[in-house]
Amino acid sequence: MRAIGVEAAGVTKRFGAFTALDDVSLKVRPGTVHALLGENGAGKSTFVKCLLGYYRADSGDFVIGDRQEAIAQPQDADRLGLGMVYQHFTLVPSMSAAENLVMARADVPRVIAWKAERKRLGEFMSRMPFKIPLDIALGMLAAGERQKAEILKQLYLQRRVIVLDEPTSTLTPQEAEDVLNLMRELATSGELTIIIITHKLKEVMAFADEVTVLRRGRMAGGGKVGELTAIDMTTMMIGAAHEPGTLTRSGDPEAAARLTIRDLRSLGDHGRAGLDIAALDVRPHEILGIAGVSGNGQRELMEVLGGQRPPTGGEIRVADRSYHARRNEMHALGVRLLPEEPLRNACAPGMSVIANLNLRTFDRTDNGARRFWLDRRRMAERGRTMIEMFGIRTPSPDAPIGALSGGNVQRSVLARELDGDVEVLIVANPCFGLDVKAVAEIRARIVAARNAGTAMLLISADLDELLELSDRIVVMCEGKIVYETPGTGADAHEIGRHMAGHA
Ligand SMILES: Nc1ncnc2c1ncn2[C@@H]1O[C@H](COP(=O)(O)OP(=O)(O)OP(=O)(O)O)[C@@H](O)[C@H]1O
Ligand SMILES: [Mg+2]
């Protein structure tokens, strides 16, 4: 059996005065799938980063295999056969998947025999449940494809233990199932021990053997999956049973569209079909959901609407005025965006939470006029209100936003983008990485914005989310809108067929 066990005893980790992990002990048996659960900010990522030598625990021990090991730096973890797929991307974006994989090997020779390497890589890829383009710079790929490359890298390195931090969030349901099935098989056959962090209890129930639950940095419980119910697990996570709220819609979509897109074209990355949208309208009091397999133009559309990619033709209008995604237009027309990977695409990671919450408004007075000096007191006040209203968990309002847990970054950006009068809101995967409670909260806020009259374009890789939230759903495939259906009574299978291009 190649797989080895992992044990932690009394692991504590502090960041300044803040204790992120407090005396955490757990045991992962070799060849099992062990799920690590907990609310946003519970300390899951911090724990696995200590295990991987990315952070140094203040106290506590790790036993890897049957030996106590000091894991002081990532190289130590590497040597022990521990690998990790992080919540954020770690591969070099300017290099291709092939280059990234080969370069990641510890024994990479000084002169690379590319022909032999390609052969080896080809054989490896033929055993994998999914494919990615091997020769295109990873930075050009959609999040879902990059996620797959990160997983492939760990498998390529022949680890003995793999830690996955929310691996399926950017994948389609089918891809997620394939990845989890593969992990399950590798564990059962004794090849690998798997530690998986996820917020999806369905995945835990179907694929994990045991769970450990963290709450606010402490152990809150755990056990064999077969002996626990989903309610047991959420109760351990949040300290009480979670009551899912019901979303109430009020107000029907108005007749006149607020966001109109006509004949919009843009180039696609690396020879992929670009955008080619004949017509797309979003009305006030309407959530228009865009379904599609990641990599079919969603990212290009988001970039065009956010001003990061120039369209090559067509027109976008907001409230009947021409729109070119400039910052002052966005301000005047009330257009807001929540892109995917918000830490990378919508934050200044080294700046404070307060500064990030004020990015849209720091140069404006309260009534929208231009301001020439910063009102730091007003910024702090606004920031604190948003932190309070959205329940953003941060060590301090002045902490760099890059130090927040994934879910709390997401909440921060949404808090900022929902602040003030929002005429058009464009969101991509808004619940990516959020815990059950936060998902319910964010969805309620999205519906509340719709009820208040916002016209909303919701791009999501999560079909369940689209079915729950959308007034209308369209499917995007190879840059085109290929199918449309009302949200009520929408047929998931029919949507799935169009997503896969089998229409
Ligand atoms: N480098 C750091 N500096 C300061 N505080 C940090 C740092 N890293 C994490 N924290 C804090 O430690 C706590 C735990 O964060 P962690 O990222 O481990 O949470 P998580 O359980 O992974 O949450 P999520 O589900 O949102 O990813 C959070 O309150 C976070 O703000
Ligand atoms: Mg995390």
Q: Which pLDDT score, from 0 to 100, does residue 224 have?
A: 97
With the most atoms of ligand 1 within 8 angstroms of its CB, the residue from 11, 22, 37, 45 to mutate is 45
Query: What are the DSSP calls for 169-219, one per residue?
Result: TTS-HHHHHHHHHHHHHHHHTTS-EEEEE-S-HHHHHHH-SEEEEEETTEE
Q: What does the domain layout of the chain look like in residue ranges? A: 6-238, 259-499
Nearest Cα neighbor of 468 from 439, 503, 496, 437 is 439
Q: Are 299 and 272 in contact (CB under 8 A)?
A: no
Beta-sheet strands, E only, within 65-155: 67-69, 82-85
Q: Which pLDDT score, from 0 to 100, does residue 431 have?
A: 86
Distance CA 92, CA 102 (A): 12
Query: Cβ neighbours of residue 337 under 8 Å, at least 6 residues apart?
Result: 302, 305, 306, 330, 346, 417, 425, 426, 427
Distance CA 146, CA 298 (A): 15
3-state secondary structure of 16: coil
With the most atoms of ligand 1 within 8 angstroms of its CB, the residue from 12, 52, 405, 413 to mutate is 405
Distance CA 185, CA 205 (A): 16
State in words which class domain 6-238 has: alpha beta
With the most atoms of ligand 1 within 8 angstroms of its CB, the residue from 12, 15, 48 to mutate is 15
Helix ranges (H only) for 240-281 are none
Nearest Cα neighbor of 480 from 303, 263, 257 is 263
Q: Are 244 and 265 in contact (CB under 8 A)?
A: no
Q: What is the CATH number of domain 259-499?
A: 3.40.50.300
Centroid of ligand 2 to alpha carbon of 31 (angstroms)? 24
* Cα atoms in the Cβ-side hemisphere of radius 13 Å centred on 121: 24
Q: Are 47 and 214 in contact (CB under 8 A)?
A: yes
Q: Are 147 and 170 in contact (CB under 8 A)?
A: yes
In ligand 1, which atom is closest to the CA atom of 217? 14
In ligand 1, which atom is closest to the CA atom of 39? 25
Please check whether the two domains, 6-238 and 259-499, share a CATH topology: yes
Protein residues whose CB sits closer than 6 Å to any atom of ligand 1: 15, 18, 20, 38, 40-46, 87, 393-395, 403-408, 433, 435
Centroid of ligand 1 to alpha carbon of 186 (angstroms)? 29
How far lies 23's CA from each of 28, 218, 220, 319, in Å? Answer: 17, 7, 11, 56
Please report which ligand is nearest the Cα atom of 393. Answer: 1
**How confident is the chain (503 residues) per 10-residue block, as mean pLDDT?**
94 93 97 94 94 95 93 92 84 89 78 84 84 86 79 90 85 75 90 93 93 95 94 86 76 94 88 87 97 85 93 95 93 91 90 94 76 85 93 92 89 90 92 82 90 95 90 95 95 87 72
Residue nearest to atom 1 of ligand 1 (CA): 403
pTM: 0.76
Q: Which pLDDT score, from 0 to 100, does residue 170 have?
A: 65
Q: Which pLDDT score, from 0 to 100, does residue 1 have?
A: 80
